[in-house]
Structure 1
Amino acid sequence: MYPPCLALRPARRNDRNDIEQLAALSARLLTAGDYPPDAVEAALRSGAWALDPQLIADGCYYVVLVDGALAACGGWSFRDELHNRPDGTPAPRLLDPASEPAKIRGFYTHPDYAGCGLASLLLRCCERAAFLAGFNALELAATPAGEPLYRRNGYAGVRPVRYPVGEGHTLDALIMRKPLGAGPRSIAAPPEAERATA
């Protein structure tokens, strides 16, 4: 039996439906022990876990394909936004790389590939891109299910937050941050297309 073929590439506009289906599947199955099912469904209906198309337009969102099928996705942003906006609203302002952290956004993994290192691979890709864009740190909002992944990859908790997601429900998360190391900000080799251990 041949090993799986792994590919990482920038997301395209026609990936949006597949990404949003993966986000819903990941939210329902991987957060089941942390959030009540009715809160998860309310968040999905509100668009809290929908893909922000600005990430694709900015070239900052990536997909990981295993044997041609979407297995994981995630991205980063140089804009002042950690969360989704309704379609048609103006794009947020640009961040100042010298004084503000870039944002990690929209990380989802297919439950069949949870723990296989795909999210860590995506994180390295985003961190490298943000560093080459001049940023000195990254910030994200972690669900309880995602927090161990980010801690393993060098992120530290900053403060807990509680987000309203509609219909009277809220979701707890943790704002986390990671400094980016010093080094030359020059063209770097693409991230390794391998199944790294998370």
Structure 2
Amino acid sequence: MPLCHRLAQPSDLDALRAVMALAIAELQKGFLDDAQIAASHAVMGLDTQLIADGTYFVIEADGQIAGCGGWSHRATLYGGDHAAALRDPALLSPTTDAARIRAMYTHPDFARQGVGRMVMALCEAAAQQAGFTRTELMATLSGEPLYRASGYIPIERVNAPGPNGASVPLIRMGKQLGG
């Protein structure tokens, strides 16, 4: 089934949140235990600033959302609207900072069908067009294989505390663009 892409709109919010909830609940299995998956819902999620900035993509297959993801020229590395402590709207400088790859999710029905690679290519091209030469992201354990295959190198491993006492293991990763 052919995939197409477009920029996300405010009217997509409910559908995007549903895809994200499914992706967190289903695609983390085998990587995290139930408590960590529950904590992931509090740590991850939709950042509507990306939609407002025009840097968040929707990937569709026959009109259904197959996935989503974006990039940012803001300092926030990860975390949705509900994770205020993780957010920093400060603008990044393309000459000194790395653009952020953010909030990548694939609907479980479309896992391992090229959705993530498409999002990565769109984000990296857009960041490069904006003058960035490097990108960084915060990877989940389930996303790490895709990011490694896309040329990302681990920078540091962190544990994000969830409200239920469980920690979510994450990996900050980076990539030099254009090479």
Q: TM-score, normalised by structure 1?
A: 0.84
Residues 1:80 and 2:75 are matched in the alignment: yes
Contact 2:46–2:80 (8 Å) recurs in 1: no
Matched, 1:109 2:106: yes
Q: After the TM superposition, which segments of 4 or more aligned residues of structure 1 sit over 4 Å from their partners?
A: none
Please give the alpha-carbon distance, in whole angstroms, between the structure 1 residues aligned to 2:146 and 2:45. 21
In the alignment, which residue of structure 2 is the partner of 1:120? Answer: 117
Question: Residue 63 of structure 1 corresponds to which residue in structure 2?
Answer: 58
Three-state SS of the structure 1 residue aligned to 2:22 is: helix
Structure 1: runs of 5+ lacking an equivalent: 183-198
Instruction: Establish whether residue 35 from structure 1 lines up as the match of residue 7 from structure 2.
Output: no
Residue 163 of structure 2 corresponds to residue 166 of structure 1: yes
Summarize the Cα distance change of 1:85–1:66 in structure 2 as closer, same or farther, 3 Å threshold.
closer
C-alpha deviation, 1:86, in angstroms:
4.2
Residues 1:53 and 2:57 are matched in the alignment: no
- 1:19-34 equivalences under 5 Å are 19-34=16-31
CA contact (8 A) 1:81 1:92 kept: yes
TM-score by length of 2: 0.92
Amino acid at match of 1:102: A
Secondary structure of the 2:162 match is strand
SS of 1:166's equivalent in the other structure is coil
Q: Distance in 2 between matches of 1:38 and 1:55?
A: 28
| Separation in 1, partners of 2:33, 2:172 | 21
Indicate the residue corresponding to 1:194 in structure 2: none
AA partner of residue 62 (structure 1): F
Corresponding pairs, count: 177
Structure 1 residue matching 2:43: 3-state secondary structure: coil
In the TM superposition, residue 20 of structure 1 has moved relative to its aligned partner by 0.9
Tell me if 1:8 matches 2:5. Answer: yes
The letter of the residue matching 1:68 is: G
What is residue 191 of structure 1 aligned with on the other side? none
Give the structure with the higher percent helix: 2
- 2:89 equivalent to 1:97: no
**3-state SS of paired residue (1:131):** helix
Retained in 2: the 8 A contact 1:10–1:62?
Answer: yes
